[in-house]
Amino acid sequence: MVKDSKVLLVANYLHDYPNATGREIAKKFKCALSYAYILMSKAKAIQISVEEVVDEIEEGIKNSRLAIPRDAITDTVNHPPHYKTGGIEVIDFIEAKNLSYHLGNVIKYIARADHKGNKKDDLLKAQWYLTRAINNLK
């Protein structure tokens, strides 16, 4: 653990300005030139340590039998698998057909009924939205 917070500040500064001189560091951090060189030396040691750790982690992940291929990672926010069954995302179908909010939700709940976990609830929710759409026509 680094006790001198100035070392961390200098490390961040050197990350952004790798060609900074001792004089620049002394002026920027309001310290003696000799102390600036000590700070720079410690900061560079921290940077090397961090880079080595990151390299080891990346290498370990690459060589791990448990590494997950990038394309196998599921994007549950933008492209949930329960909306992609059949090769087309439900949202794309709804937008292509220019469906209203209620009818879009009918399609959504029917499409995911077999894939989300509770088929009966999804079908009842689809029915609820369909009833609302029909009642809004009156």
pLDDT digits (tens, 9 = 90+) for 77-116: 666 665 566 677 888 888 899 999 999 999 989 988 887 7
**For position 117, what pLDDT does the model report?**
77
54 and 20 share one domain: yes
**Is 125 contained in some domain?**
yes
79 and 43 share one domain: no
Q: Are 78 and 70 in contact (CB under 8 A)?
A: no
Give the model's confidence band at 133: pLDDT under 50 very low, under 70 low, under 90 confident, else very high.
Answer: very high
90 and 48 share one domain: no
Residues of the domain holding 81:
74-137
Whether the per-residue pLDDT at 72 is higher than 80: the answer is no
Whether the per-residue pLDDT at 130 is higher than 90: the answer is yes
Q: Give the chain's domain count.
A: 2
- The crossing angle, in degrees rounded to 10, of helices 101-112 and 119-137 is 160
Give the model's confidence band at 24: pLDDT under 50 very low, under 70 low, under 90 confident, else very high.
Answer: very high
Distances (CA, A) of 91 to 17, 117, 130: 46, 19, 17
100 or 68, higher pLDDT? 100
**Is 82 contained in some domain?**
yes
88 and 52 share one domain: no
Domain end (from 42, 63, 84): 63
- What's the pTM? 0.43
Which H or E run includes 106? helix 101-112
79 and 123 share one domain: yes
Question: Looking at residue 70, what DSSP letter applies?
Answer: G
